[in-house]
Amino acid sequence: MSELFDLLVEHPFFKGMSAEQVRVVADTGMPVSYREGETIFSEGGHADACWLLLDGDVALELQTPGHGPQVMQTLHAGEILGWAWMFPPYRWHFDAHVHSDTETIRFDGPRLRNAAEADPVLGYELMKRFTRILVDRMQSIRIQLLDVYSTPR
Amino acid sequence: MHPVPCRVRSVVRELDDTFTLDLEPPSDDWSFVPGQFTMLYAFGVGEVPISISGDPGDPTRLVQTIRAVGPVSDALTSVVAGDVVGVRGPFGTAWPMEFAEGRDLLIMTGGIGLAPLRPAILHTLEHRDRYGNVTLLYGARSPEDLLFADQLQQWRGRFDLEVLITVDHADRMWRGPVGVVTSLINRASFDPESAVALVCGPEIMMRFTIQELERSGMTEDRLYVSMERNMKCGIGLCGHCQLGKFFVCKDGPVLSCAAMTGACWTREV
Amino acid sequence: MSEPLVIDREGVDALIEALIDRGYEVVGPTVRGQTILYDTITSTGDLPVGLRDRQEAGTYRLEERGDDALFGYVVGPQSFKKYLTPPGTVFWKGLRTEDGFETVEAAAPPRYAFFGARPCEVAAMRIQDDVYLPVADGVYTERRERSFTVAVNCTEPAATCFCASLGTGPAVSVGYDIALTEVLSGEHHFFLAEAGTDIGEEVLSDLSARPAHDEEVVGARRLVVHASDHMGRTLDTDGLKELLSANLTNSIWDEIGSRCLTCTNCTMVCPTCFCSTVEDRQALDGSSAERVRTWDSCFTLDFSYIHGGPVRSSPGARYRQWITHKLSTWHDQFGSSGCVGCGRCITWCPVGIDITKEAAAVRERDIRRVAVGIPSVREVLE
């Protein structure tokens, strides 16, 4: 437990949060490992968690008929996997496929939500961090959509 | 103003529409600095600006990588060994290789933007001890669209150069990162207080990259981009390449973001 | 230089003849299709004698003056860039050879005497000197350095003239070999002739001219000063460079763009606009090719085309490029304004877009300004 706290309090993602706030978050987390080839979650499934990736690579995939799984984005050490636990109806939008053996801290979604509801200051700190993730991914996807490297004729 | 006839030694097909010409240089005392370009002439068809993609340390070759996007580049990519094309140049400004000495070097590029940066990379590797951490972040459309794939593979094997490659689209066969090139920034090791970044790619990619580099703590005096504009002369006379106060052909193509100012990024400037 | 001389119309004819004798092709104003255009002249009879040009935004008319003035008009649509950077100049020719190809120089150009060059025109040539001479393009330098300039001071500006705002006229100060001032008062019709260079003085010395009386000099000068006070338009140049560079995102450009036809007239008639393009032509059998330079304009879509599309696709962005280059970035690039106040772009704009008015409108709507004159909500409620 205290090991997990020590890890999180030093982590850039939680930088700026008070020790007490980090402790509340740490209470909802536990270390989980995934092997290459595993699926962490699947599109449409119940979104009840998020993961801080400590090592390894995870691909967010969409299944397209006739083309198999298409990789939308990959996530790597230091990044957060999963935001759908925050918003009803709590369903995953992608498949999370493990590209290489991955070490994570898995945080329990419902418990995090309850903690945030109970302490709006903590809730706001979490919201700022997850909104940043959403903004970054939206910006990236906008650029990807432009297909800037294609050959215009 | 006259193109000098230069013989084509060999042609390498890099991608479906992208070719590298190995030319005999226009003169015996040929030299260029990383970042410069030439005006390449296809007899009777026309002339286009093409960046030099070869080794600045090798004065016996003029290596240029061309993507076929119009009539002149179509003609230039249809040549075979033994043919002759016209060359004027080299023209334009250089990547700040001296300024970057003693600092970490971050090379960020996308698509065919790797071509004008290859001379800078080769120069850096030739004088490796002059630089701190050197990182190449390269974004491409898909794994099939990686330019200089063999050389990238070779560079990845080096311990003194970190190469991170991401693609916009891939299936499961691709084991590397998928996402925009800026998503690689937090995986590169560089000191944001002193590092120098060389950025070349589509203009949107460069704007996005500069924003992200500034967010990571870099300042615009250490961010350099290579701009693309229409060019007819290469010597600041035809007016086509103007970007605010700059003639991109002679004041650029390599420009510091500090010199560019906001005006240069204004819509339709 | 020596003191001013006085010549009459015969003296002007003798001047033209002296220039022809020295091997110059004398080019100056002539009437072609009810417009004053530059062409080769051999005597004062070729000049638009007794004519005046009425100019306004989008309007140009020639009318009889009722006198014998040789220079009773200002400038037509052409400038001497027609001779210094002729559209269609062959840069070089290329021939296919066993070894690929070789290029051949183009033929040497004629020596021109620019006759009847207005002060704005002389200023425009000096501005183009700063563009072309440092790069030796193989066309301009050869023509310019071998040329001779007979300037004519202005005494009757048109409604579109604003050279006084730019300090380029109505009197010529530098850049001429000979300067003439035409004086027409009642019975008196004479030309004050002044040399600006040694060669100008040498040419003048061949003419049967007499030294001017003081009152003739004073009278001629007074006419030019009078012209300076009667400019049809003004351009407020105070902080203009910074004003335009700070207003790139002003919505005014879209409004001007909605009127602009992007016809390129303003750039074609502008005596300083230098943008060009090259055309590569090939013989049908592929045995030879040539590169030809033609005038280009920042108002065309092709001008800024890079693979994928033009950088400046909207007419507003193209107008903004033109006016900011002319009045703002020209200072950065060449150390002076790119405008000489000749008013051609105003006259020859088919929809009457007026550079002086648009610059004033940007000043009026400067996006840097603090909103003034608009009462706050609180003020209204109180």
Q: Domain boundaries in chain C?
A: 5-89+98-228, 240-364
Query: Does the distance separating the beta carbons of A68 and B171 come in below 8 Å?
Result: yes
Of the candidates B184, B234, B254, the residue with the CA atom closest to the CA atom of residue B213: B184
Q: Are residues B220 and B140 in the same domain?
A: yes
User: Is residue B78 one of the residues assigned to a domain?
Assistant: yes
Inter-chain CB proximity A139 and B140 less than 8 Å: no
Same domain, B70 and B145: no
CB-CB contact of B123 with B198 (8 Å): no
CA distances in angstroms from A15 to A9, A55, A82, listed in the order given: 7, 19, 19
Is B229 in CB contact (< 8 Å) with chain C?
A: yes
Q: What ipTM is given for this predicted complex?
A: 0.91
Domain that holds residue B130: 105-226
- Name the domain count of chain B: 2
Identity of the residue numbered B77: T
Number of Cβ within 10 Å of residue C330's Cβ equals 21
DSSP-assigned letter for residue C108: P
In a domain, B262, yes or no: no
Q: Show residues of chain C in contact with B37, CB under 8 Å.
A: none
Residue type, B34: P
pLDDT digits (tens, 9 = 90+) for B163-172: 999 999 998 8
The neighbour count for residue C198, using CB atoms within 10 Å, is: 10
- If one compares B57 and C138, the residue with the highest pLDDT of the two is B57
What is the chain B residue with the closest CA to C316?
A: B268
Q: Is residue B114 part of a domain?
A: yes
CB contacts of B41 in chain C (<8 Å) are 280
- State the first-to-last Cα distance of chain C, in angstroms, to the nearest integer: 72
Span B193-220, average pLDDT? 94
What is residue B108's DSSP assignment? E
For all residues of chain C together, what is the average pLDDT?
93
Which residues, 6+ apart, have CB-to-CB distance to C235 below 8 Å?
A: C162, C165, C166, C339, C341, C355, C356, C359
> Which of B235-239, C135-139, C158-162 is the least confident region?
C135-139
- Decide if C196 contacts C177 (C-beta within 8 A): yes
Identity of the residue in A76, A97, A148 whose CB atom sits nearest the CB atom of B204: A148
User: Least CB-CB distance to B263: which of C135, C248, C281?
Assistant: C248
Same domain, B137 and B183: yes
B45 chain-C contacts, CB cut-off 8 A? 280, 282
Same domain, B185 and B151: yes
Chain B nearest-CA distance from C358, in A, is 19
Retrieve residue B176's tokens: 């590397």
Q: How far is CA C321 from the centre of its chain?
A: 19
- Tokens standing for residue C1: 């230089």
Rounded Cα gap, residues B2 and B4, in angstroms = 6
Instruction: Tell me, yes or no, whether B231 lies in a domain.
Output: no
For residue A153, list chain C residues with Cβ-Cβ distance below 8 A.
307
Chain A stretch 94-153, residues whose beta carbon is closer than 8 A to a beta carbon of chain C: 151-153
Structure tokens at C261: 């036809």
> Residue B237 and residue C314: Cβ atoms within 8 Å?
no
Question: Which of C164, C195, C181 lies closest to C223 in space, CA to CA?
Answer: C181
Q: Measured between beta carbons, which residues in chain B are less than 8 angstroms from residue C135? A: 235-237
B84 plus B109 within the same structural domain: no
Interatomic CA distance for residues C72 and C283, integer angstroms: 48
**Single-letter residue type at B252:** G
Domains (range + CATH), chain A: 2-146 (2.60.120.10)
Inter-chain touch C317–B267, beta carbons under 8 Å: yes
- Residue B176 and residue B112 share a domain: yes
- B58/B22 same-domain check: yes
Mean pLDDT of residues grouped by 10 in chain A (153 residues)?
A: 87 94 95 94 93 95 83 93 93 93 96 96 96 90 86 66
Nearest CB to A149; choose among B111, B177, B187: B111
Rounded to an integer, what distance in angstroms lies between the CA atom of residue A79 and that of residue A94? 16
* Mean pLDDT of all residues in C234-238: 97
Looking up tokens 């050389």 gives B151
Higher pLDDT residue, C370 or A58?
A: A58
Q: What is the pLDDT of residues B106-146, one digit of tens each?
A: 999 999 999 999 999 999 999 999 999 999 999 999 999 99
pLDDT tens profile C27-65:
999 999 999 999 999 999 999 999 999 999 999 999 999
Pairs of residues, one from chain B and one from chain C, whose beta carbons lie less than 8 Å apart: 112
Nearest residue on chain B to C253, alpha-carbon basis: B268
Is residue B84 situated within a structural domain? Answer: yes
